[in-house]
Amino acid sequence: MRPGEPVDLPAYGAGAAPDAPALLLTGLCKAFGGNTAVDQVHLAVPRGSFFGLVGPNGAGKTTSLSMAVGLLRPDAGSARIFGVDVWEDPVRAKSLVGVLPDGLALPERLTGRELLTYTGQLRGLDAATVAQRAAELLGVLELDSAERTLVVDYSAGMRKKIGLAAALLHAPKLLVLDEPFEAVDPVSATTIRTILQRFVASGGAVVLSSHVMALVEQLCDHVAVIARGRVVASGPLDQVRGGQSLEATFVDLVGGRVGGQEGLSWLAS
Amino acid sequence: MVGVLIRMKLRMLRNSVRGRRAAAVLVGGLFALIAGVGTALVCGLDVGDPEVSVDLTAALLAVWTLGWLFGPLVTGGSDETLQPEHFRLLPIGSTALARGFLAAALVGVAPLATAVALCGLVVQGLRLGPVAAVVAVLAVLLQLAFAVLLSRVVFAGLGAVLRSRRGRDVGVVLAALVGLAFVPVRLAFETLGPVLLHRESPVFSAVLRALPSGWGVVAVHAAGRSDWLLVAAPLAGLAVLVVLLVPAWAGLLRARMTRVASAGGAAVRGGRTDRSGRRSLLPAGPVGAVAAKELRTWRRDARRRVTLVSPLLIGLALPVITTVSSRGAVDAIAFGGLFALGLCCLQAGNLFGFDGTALWQTLVTPGAERADVRGRQLAWLILVSPVAIAAALVLPAVSGDPGVYPWVLGLTPAVLGGSAGVVLLLSTYAAYPVPSQRNGNPFAAGNNPGCAAALRQLVMSLLLLVAAGPVVLIDLVGVLTDLPVLTWLGVLVGVASGVVAARWWGDLAHHRLVARGPELLAVLRTA
């Protein structure tokens, strides 16, 4: 089977259980120096779900997602993509997932189309397929007007979009997106939402992290709240928010106190 | 504001100096201070003839001032602990900011070492009387401010030029020339020592004293003789220079804060973006894709060009200069290509570092590690082979000793193959982070502390020797047994050992990338 073709999951054989969740994290731990960034994270992303990962700054979202896709080696625990262990059978696991990391570099001295061509060929797609998919992605994401601009000169929103295009290029079954909507303009954000919703409707699973509760509430059917390196709530959206808004649930769960009411009297002129 | 800036700089220095970097900074600082104390001692030495003492001091202080001008080029840009961009939104005028930056620039290890070196003037002043000592203290302050300001203004100006794409190509050549400057400097040291001590050249002494770096010592000695005109004129001159340099720096700061730096290569020339129909000589598939990306990056990234062009220039020019200056004692010219190749290899052995965190793409792509290593090797060979082969074909003839042809022709493929292996080995086993690509200064070198650099050099040289070993062996046997056939056979052996080295070390790099890819990414993330 050529990479990039629609994957018939059971054909993936041993380990790829037909009913395994799209992404299963069990007991993931990571400490940097003395700081525990991620502490026993358990997470199950069902097939065909649109999964939102929310949490305060520094809660361990990026660290968990990095360990889930093979970018950061966990101290303990495992990550399975459709039942395939990311750290024991990386080649098979990585062919099933498309990744958009946050804040990492790209091959900066390529144009958008060159970047997609490079990414596709690196994945072993044939030239004609890559060219056709790249043209479609650049068109849909409205990056084709910046045909001669190098990625290093892209704006933050354009970088997100070209990163998303690179993640979609090989037609993965699972998308792991770290802050995909950050710095993206409203029109492009709507485009991206539509693309992702179509992806889920056709059977794919999406995991995205975000700070924006309203967005997660609108888009996702499942949600997990992560705080201080632990998953404090996880499940279908309605079950997690239990009748109130996700934002209120979030503030309750994270134990935060909404500040801004006291002090700062000098600010009023 | 001056106090705030100084405290801010000290705090930032303290926060950035941690762990392994702390050791490097400490060792570097220690050497600088030792050099400073040494200079002060030599200046303070009573050499008998006061005229000799003036010349000697003026010469040493000229060297320190030049150090402020050329040091930053070698170490990778002037001190950027405090960046004017951080102050862009504050309601502070650029002249006030320049004054504050001057005060903060006087804080640090390099200015401290320079101040210690300048204290040689005070030692001399003390010997000449209390007034001379007071003059000396004034001179120390003015000369320190002058050296620091001159360096800052020159680099602020250079930085403004280097922001443009054209300017960066100029910068590449400039960096190469600074590397070459070591040769004339060595010659200068060998010839000038005696000239100074025996006062052989009155013109030279006059020039040393006429340079602003010599004005301080002139004033101190004039104070000893109560020649007040010669006390006032040089001190006033230094003060005027300092006063003039501050607004110059302010202007450059203003320019830097209000203009946006283009990250480089805003547009790709021509319309040659990848359409499906375009034919390429590179192999189809992942390896070819990586090679194509690498070739584009080498061409478009100013920093990559620096790492390749400047060692090539230095490597080819240095043997020529040494041969010319030593009247052809060795056929260094004939081996110039190999020398240049070795230098390139040392500079380029951080390929993943140059790309920053872009390594993640290889890590999330199944089985891409092998293609990444082989593609980079292929691109490297495509870039350096033409130069190395041309040098191997031409230089032995130029050197006037065609007898070295079999040696050069055998060693070149061996070292070429070896270099393709070593670059990837160093890149995977000893990567270090380089500042983000988006700030665009080709001289921003990243923190590769001196001792680590020396270790890399050692490892690289040893490995290249291993690759060259079989050729050297068979050529030696050929020479000893007087069988020219064997030395020509060395060419074949060279090709074979080059291929073996490139494949073998490439494999090691590939396995390292598979086994420790995430850890490599973590290292690059610390930039």
The interface predicted TM-score of the complex, written ipTM, equals 0.82
CATH code of residue A107: 3.40.50.300
Chain B residue with minimal CA distance to A170?
B365
Tell me, what's the pLDDT at B251? Answer: 87
Tell me: do B121 and B233 sit in the same domain.
yes
- Over 70: is that where the pLDDT of A7 sits? no
Task: Find the CB nearest B263 among A106, A130, A152.
Answer: A152
Confirm whether A215 is domain-assigned: yes
Q: Determine the Cα angle at A129 with ends A127 and A134, to 5°.
A: 95
Residue B267 within a domain: no
A131 with B290: Cβ contact below 8 A: no
Specify whether B61 is located in the same domain as B209. Answer: yes
Greater pLDDT, B330 or A58: A58
Of the pLDDT bands very low, low, confident and very high (cuts 50, 70, 90), residue A222 is: very high
Domain count, chain A: 1
Amino acid letter, B442: P
Chain B residues whose beta carbon lies within 8 Å of the beta carbon of residue A114: 273-274, 293, 296
Which is more confidently placed, A175 or B48? A175
Phi first, then psi, for residue B438 (nearest 5°) are -80, -10
**Helix B50-75 to helix B109-118 angle, to the nearest 10 degrees?**
170
The domain containing residue A142 runs over which residues?
A: 45-66+97-254
Residues belonging to chain A = 269
Q: Which residue has the higher pLDDT, A119 or B160?
A: A119
CB atoms within 10 A of CB B270: 7
- Assess if residue A149 is contained within a domain: yes
The dihedral built from the CA positions of residue A57, A60, A63 and A68, taken in this order, carries a sign that is: negative
Are B250 and B303 contained in the same domain?
no
CA distance B322 to chain A (A): 38
Q: Which of B258, B277, B307 is the last residue of a domain?
A: B258
B90 shares its domain with B145: yes
Number of domains comprising chain B: 2
Q: Is B32 in the same domain as B125?
A: yes
- Please check whether residue B488 lies inside any domain of the structure: yes
A128 in a structural domain: yes
- Whether B231 and B299 map to the same domain: the answer is no
Q: Give A80's pLDDT tier (boundaries 50, 70, 90).
A: very high
CB B496 within 8 A of CB B473: no
CB pair distance less than 8 Å for B276 and A131: yes
* Predicted local confidence at residue B152, as pLDDT: 86
Is the model's pLDDT at A259 over the cut of 80? no
> Is B273 domain-assigned?
no
Answer whether residue A1 shows pLDDT above 50: no
Q: To the nearest whole angstrom, how far is the Cα of B305 from the nearest Cα of chain A? A: 13
Q: Summarize chain B as % helix, strand, coil (round to 5).
A: 80, 0, 20
Across the interface, of A91, A110, A114, the residue whose CB is closest to B366 is A91
Pairwise CA distance, residues A127 & B193, whole Å: 66
Domain match, B71 and B184 both: yes
Q: Does a structural domain hold residue A187?
A: yes
Measured between CA atoms, how close is B36 to chain A, in angstroms? 38
Q: How far is A238 from chain B (nearest CA, A)?
A: 33
Domain match, B216 and B360 both = no
Q: Tell me, yes or no, whether B462 and B316 share the same domain.
A: yes
The Cα A205–Cα B486 span in angstroms is 65
Query: Domain range holding B372?
Result: 286-525
Per CB-CB distance under 8 Å, the chain B contacts of A150 are: 263-268, 300
> Can you list the residues of chain B whose pLDDT is less than 50?
262-267, 269-278, 329, 437-450
CB A149 within 8 Å of CB A109? no
- Please give the Cα distance from B304 to B301 (Å, whole number): 5
State the pTM of this model.
0.73
A115, closest residue in chain B (CA to CA): B293
Is residue A262 situated within a structural domain? no
Instruction: Count the Cβ atoms, other than its own, within 10 Å of residue B386.
Output: 10
B295 and B254 within one domain: no
Closest CA to B140 of B228, B248, B219, B51: B219
Same-domain pairing of B137 and B179: yes
Same domain? For B244 and B307 the reply is no
Of the pLDDT bands very low, low, confident and very high (cuts 50, 70, 90), residue A253 is: confident
Residues 94-123 of A with CB under 8 A from B: 94-95, 97, 99, 101, 103-111, 113-114, 117-119, 121-123
pLDDT of A191 strictly over 80: yes
A198 domain residue, yes or no = yes
Residue A127 in contact with partner chain B when CB distance is under 8 A: yes
Report, in angstroms and rounded to the nearest whole number, the Rg of chain A calculated over CA atoms.
Answer: 19
B364: nearest CB among A71, A128, A150: A71
Could you tell me if A162 lies within 8 Å of chain B, comparing CB atoms? no
